[in-house]
A and B are shown apart, each in its own frame.
Chain A
Amino acid sequence: MNTYDLIIVGAGPGGSVAAKIAAEKGLKTVFFERGRKPGEKNSSGCGLGPRMFRDFPEMMKKLTPEKCHSMRAGVAARNYFVNKDDIVAGYIMARPTESVSYEPAKSWITMNVYRSEFDPWIAEFATDAGAELKTSTLIIDLLKENGKVSGVIDDKGEKYKAPIVIGADGAVSTVAQKSGLRSKWSQNQVTLTLQYDFQAPSEKIDDIMGDETLAVWWGSNFPASYQVFFNDGFHQGLGNWMTWWDKTPLFYLNRVVNLKYYQRLLKILDAKPRELQAHLLPWLDYPYNTYTDGIILIGDAGGFPCPLEAEGIYPAMVTGKIAAEVAAEAVSSGDFSKESLKKFDEGWKKTSIGEEFEAGAELWNIWKALPFSPKETMSWFVPMIMEILGGIFDWSQPHGKRVRQIISHVKSYMPKATPFIMKNVFPLVAKIFEDDLDKIMDPKKIMKVLPKLLDMLPQKKKRRGSQEK
């Protein structure tokens, strides 16, 4: 029998950070990976956020292209707007703005890496700290003694003992299932995400994309599709909540890839499809059931990806750190009860992750209603945005007349846009500024004023320079 202080199921970034910190605190720690090496089963989550570098500086400053060949800083990000005729109607490109407050967030938006390189790199911190990594090992069940968690068992029948188990085993967490914390997600708590990886020569990406290394394709015929560039390739992927799909996910992803604009991009980048990957991605408005007697769930297993854009690695690392600290306290006190482990929830709620989830429901709502509702929302959102962006720079009429034409046309979208703003934008604004909705804006008043205001705008102005005396 193999006996430990702490067992961690999963050797992704969350499990590895937990293992590192637990080992540093002197806990005899083992962590398990079902692949032959960490990262071998992971796809996506490949954009490292700047908060990782702020909150885990000792580790992250050691991440170099020598260790992680695929690294590419995602400096500028582009948002393509694709209309219902599958034409790229326009785009906005942005870099970190003047109000961004710290490095490296000032220099780039994400650092893109392939998980097959990043995950083994981060696991090494844990093994260097003395944690034991067992690869090619699938944990299939929890062991229990007198009704209490006492360890885990692998698919070869090997048993490992410990009074506490951290589930860092992803969206379809065996630890969550076997501990009774969750048999599966509700259908609106998890998305199915798939992506192609394309290979492309580094020089081509440098020449054509420059430091623009991230894009979101906002479509009227497909859920928002992300594009992430690495050193020698890029991902194109998309996802949606489980019951959204009326055709296979591949149908929608191929719709992006088959855009005329996209085909041109593939051609000039000399890009070739290299891999196809699919995974479940928890996307919750608020994490729940994250701990019980002898069990803590972290990262995707606990439902911690960001409620807006589903950043997963940073929340996994933060929750991994807190879980390890709580586990160490439990080991020293000998109390592994649910009551004792509630410190885990208290802990993450005080972090940047906790603050993110404070507006979780509102962020989740707006994301679901906008980019993930192509037919219902993006079909009018794209032409409306482009009417404003593209309409101004148009010399088909005197510019004053164009502005009136544009506003008059934008008005025609109001029956769809107004309820959307009322339902999704106002509550988010109210939540962010921690004020009652009524105090900021009375929806009834706005409904009354807005159409009148818009009515006033397209009125023709008296001509300047007329000869009237």
Chain B
Amino acid sequence: MKIELEGLTKRIPGTGEFISINSLKCNNCDRCLFVCVMNLWRKKEGKIYLAEDYQSKCLECAACFQVCDAGAIMFKYPAGGTGIVIEKG
């Protein structure tokens, strides 16, 4: 059984930017690639980048921020009252 992730998370738009990466600090450990449940971190030509549509896919767990020992990933929560809505948590 393949579970379709589309539609499993409700969101309120207007989050603003809340995740970013400083490529100068990134040490290419690739851990962010593994921990992201939604697979929002990608690697292209040796450079890690964040999916452009992350605001509409991110589960706001902050695992990428936590796992980044290089301190390259910045995370703050979406603006108050926006982002994911967990109804059955």
Contact = CB atoms under 8 A, between A and B. Distances in A.
B87 A192 contact: no
A43 B62 CA distance: 14
Contacts of B76: 140, 174
A136 B86 contact: no
A245 B86 contact: no
Contacts of B67: 187, 192, 242-243
A39 B12 CA distance: 15
Interface string B50-89: 0000000001111101110100000111111101111111
Contacts of B25: none
A459 interface: no
B39 interface: yes
B1 A263 contact: yes
A114 B37 contact: no
B3 interface: yes
B31 interface: yes
Contacts of B31: 242-243, 245
B89 A115 contact: yes
Interface in A257-275: 257-258, 263, 266, 273-275
A15 interface: no
Interface-centre pick from A43, A190, A230 (highest chain B CB count, 10 A)? A43
Nearest to A171: B62
A414 interface: no
A96 interface: no
A66 interface: no
A280 B37 contact: no
A257 B1 contact: yes
B3 A254 contact: yes
B24 interface: no
A233 B80 contact: no
B1 A35 contact: no
B43 to A, nearest CB: 14
Contact of A273 (B8, B34, B89): B8
Contacts of A114: 87-89
B37 A258 contact: no
Interface-centre pick from A41, A185, A194, A277 (highest chain B CB count, 10 A)? A277
Contact of A40 (B35, B36, B66, B85): B85
A276 interface: yes
B34 A245 contact: yes
A116 B75 CA distance: 24
Nearest to B81: A136
B88 A116 contact: yes
A99 interface: no
A116 B86 contact: yes
A285 B65 CA distance: 22
B37 A194 contact: yes
A341 B67 CA distance: 31
A174 B76 CA distance: 9
Contact of B89 (A43, A184, A246, A263): A43
Contacts of A40: 85-86
A278 B39 CA distance: 13
A249 B38 CA distance: 9
A36 interface: yes
23 contacts: A35-B81, A35-B85, A36-B81, A39-B86, A40-B85, A42-B89, A115-B86, A172-B75, A184-B66, A187-B66, A192-B37, A192-B61, A192-B63, A242-B35, A242-B63, A242-B67, A245-B34, A248-B36, A248-B39, A250-B37, A254-B3, A273-B8, A277-B9
Interface of A: 34-36, 39-44, 46, 70, 114-116, 135-138, 140, 154-156, 171-172, 174, 184-185, 187, 190, 192, 194, 196-197, 199, 230, 233, 242-243, 245-250, 254, 257-258, 263, 266, 273-280
